[in-house]
Amino acid sequence: MTATLEPTTTALPPLRLGALTVDPAVVLAPMAGITNPAFRTLCREFGAGLYVCEMITTRALVERNEKTLRMIRATADEKDAFSVQLYGVDPATVGRAVEMLVDEGVAGTRPAHIDLNFGCPVPKVTRKGGGSALPWHRVLLRNIVREAVRGAKDVPVTIKTRIGIDADHVTYLDAGRIAQDEGAAAITLHGRTADQLYSGTADWAPIARLVEAVDIPVLGNGDIWEADDALRMVEATGCAGVVIGRGCLGRPWLFGDLAAAFAGRSERALPTLREVAAIMHRHAELLSAEHGELHGCTDFRKHVAWYLKGFSVGSDTRRALAMVSGLDELAELLAGIPDQPYPTAVLGAPRGRTSTPRPVALPEGWLDDRDDPRPPAGAELETSGG
């Protein structure tokens, strides 16, 4: 089922990242345990854009960690637009990891795009100086971006970051200028500081300021729950595209809405519960094809609450769905729920993880010298995915 809104004249041109054209200018943000091949395929079936795999740790890639090598497999329909996000804190390791992807084809497919993660606010990362803490060390940031761009050759490299560590330690303007100077194709800015985690409301004003400060494309991220939020962000900031994270959890059809919105069309999807159930089963099928039925259905369990958000479903059924272990069992449970229209009350509401603000855990003395080029000790992650 679709809804038709007031006509919109807003349309956004395709995003150009080197030789790669992203049309519409919509990017799926990497999310640990979420943006695996199954979810990327499902989202692509509803719309178009660029769909980034789960975060890959450069150290694990260089060491050819078995789990990491499995995670960077491209699906059959993303051979020409395979997108990888890398986490790394050592310029040499990042450069080597990029070379492996581009020159050796360790993923089985040469990536069309590489993103660098400088936005993760998780304490286990920032307390070692990684993620959203790293841009405070601007020389180190510059060296990492330089090595990545060098290793990538003709593959476009972008970076993703936050406003800063906190209101007193803002980094995004420096990060944007460094990215531009070192040959990055674009920068994504999440409208929160690291200490905000996922609390409150994203501040889009810094996105607009960054657009004015750099010549490379700026992508906006933060609190895009509906396609019309994306239109508002573009209008308010002048950003060249949007990056979608939590807003698509349990709503992969959001990418169809975004494609329509950026083409200037007004239709929006409002699937009935029966239609959502079919999408849920399709999602579980894709996971099962990738991991085996038991593992795939077990992995699917975390998506159930997101898909059913706002629908009238009994607690016993919800509990059973959250413990499902087979596709037939899933189909039977879903068939037993009476059909109902989409719960419009949840439109525009936050989805996924929430949090309260808290001070950012940092290495001792991390804020003392912004021009220290040394990689933070012990900040390399041994496993991929966050």
Provide CB contacts within 8 A for 364, sequence distance 6+: none
Phi-psi category of residue 194: left, alpha or beta, with phi > 0 → left and psi -120 to 50 → alpha: alpha
Provide CB contacts within 8 A for 380, sequence distance 6+: 57, 58, 59, 88, 89, 90, 93
User: What tokens does 4 get?
Assistant: 């038709």
- Measured distance CA(361)–CA(169) in Å, rounded: 13
8 Å CB contact between 350 and 223: yes
User: What tokens does 298 get?
Assistant: 């077990």
Instruction: Based on the residue annotation, tell me whether 120 is a catalytic residue of this protein.
Output: yes
- Measured distance CA(103)–CA(169) in Å, rounded: 38
* Strand 20-22, strand 15-17: pairing: antiparallel
Q: Which amino acid is at 168?
A: D
- Measured distance CA(113)–CA(300) in Å, rounded: 28
Provide CB contacts within 8 A for 330, sequence distance 6+: 280, 281, 284, 297, 300, 321, 324
Strands (E) in the chain, as ranges, are 2-4, 15-17, 20-22, 26-28, 50-51, 56-57, 83-87, 113-118, 157-162, 164-166, 169-170, 186-190, 218-221, 241-244, 267-269
Q: Which amino acid is at 165?
A: I
H or E stretch including 59?
Answer: helix 58-62
From the candidates 53, 120, 239, 297, give the one annotated as an active-site residue: 120
User: What tokens does 111 get?
Assistant: 């990536």
User: What tokens does 27 get?
Assistant: 């990017």
Closest residue by Cα to residue 230 from 3, 1, 8:
8
H or E stretch including 181?
Answer: helix 172-181
DSSP-derived secondary structure letter, 52: B
User: What tokens does 76 get?
Assistant: 């059959």
8 Å CB contact between 28 and 40: yes
Instruction: Name the residues annotated as catalytic.
Output: 120
